[in-house]
């Protein structure tokens, strides 16, 4: 039996990109999915777009909440998933058709807790800037935290072997999340909510597999959170570390 995979998409003022994102999820070759669109108080037409898709597709759900930022919006979605596994997609990004299928295949019939894929970075018009393809590997028991998680903090001195600490293009076990009461912190308080999540999650994962898929298309969006000038960014970095 193919496990149900929940896809949580936090949405905030992305009317320009949102349809391409949702269409790419609906078009997945792996079909046992549910899509949770969580509108974080958008002031453009994003919320209406979410509602329109939810009316058209029985496996698409639209939620609306007061604005609280990316981390808390992911938590809102997590509290409402039905799948055995969950993945996150940012609403200005999109997936290749085989993205979810390849992540699920990496579970090796549920013998693996967590599967991590690479990505393709794309320009606004869809041109690929570069791809990040990882070497396939499996980590078990203490090596999940001591080797895999550590590589998310940066490369070793003599080679480029880091793994991006993003939570997208990763499939997580709902059981691990629920049993350990895991949740995201606010990126408004800690500048990388993904690394904090990873530092919590990988303490409990018993196995993780890296696959060489690059079917997550990560958009280089000049107006995204990480690109905007923030005068307090240096102080936030100090606090984060």
CATH number corresponding to 5-240: 3.90.550.10
Strand order in the sheet with 128-132: 94-95, 216-219, 119-122, 128-132
Span 122-151, average pLDDT: 92
pLDDT at 225: 56
159 — pLDDT class (breaks 50, 70, 90): confident
Span 157-165, average pLDDT: 80
Q: Between 189 and 153, where is the model more confident?
A: 153
pLDDT at 223: 59
Q: Pick the range with the lowest mean pLDDT from 68-82, 101-115, 177-191.
A: 177-191
Span 154-175, average pLDDT: 86
43 — pLDDT class (breaks 50, 70, 90): very high
**CA distances, 103 to each of 30, 35, 42 (Å):** 10, 16, 30
Span 58-83, average pLDDT: 96
Span 62-75, average pLDDT: 94
């Amino acid at each position: 039996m193919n496990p149900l995979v929940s896809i949580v998409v936090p949405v905030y003022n992305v009317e320009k990109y949102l349809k391409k994102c949702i269409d790419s999820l609906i078009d997945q070759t792996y079909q046992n999915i549910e899509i949770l669109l969580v509108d974080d108080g958008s002031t453009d037409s994003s919320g209406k777009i979410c509602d329109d898709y939810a009316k058209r597709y029985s496996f698409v759900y639209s939620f609306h909440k007061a604005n609280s930022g990316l981390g808390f919006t992911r938590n809102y979605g997590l509290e409402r998933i039905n799948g055995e596994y969950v993945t996150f997609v940012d609403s200005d990004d999109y997936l290749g058709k085989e993205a979810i299928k390849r992540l699920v295949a990496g579970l090796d019939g549920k013998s693996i807790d967590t599967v991590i894929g690479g990505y393709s970075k794309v320009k606004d018009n869809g041109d690929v800037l570069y791809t990040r393809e990882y070497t396939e590997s499996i980590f078990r028991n203490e090596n999940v935290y001591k080797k895999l998680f550590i590589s998310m903090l940066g490369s070793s001195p003599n080679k480029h072997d880091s793994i991006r600490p993003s939570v997208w293009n990763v499939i997580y076990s709902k059981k691990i999340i629920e049993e350990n009461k895991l949740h995201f912190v606010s990126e408004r308080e800690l500048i990388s909510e993904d690394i904090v999540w990873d530092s919590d999650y990988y303490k409990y994962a018993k196995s993780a597999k890296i696959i060489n898929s690059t079917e997550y298309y990560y958009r280089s969006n000049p107006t995204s959170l990480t690109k905007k000038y923030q005068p307090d960014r240096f102080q936030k970095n100090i606090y984060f570390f």
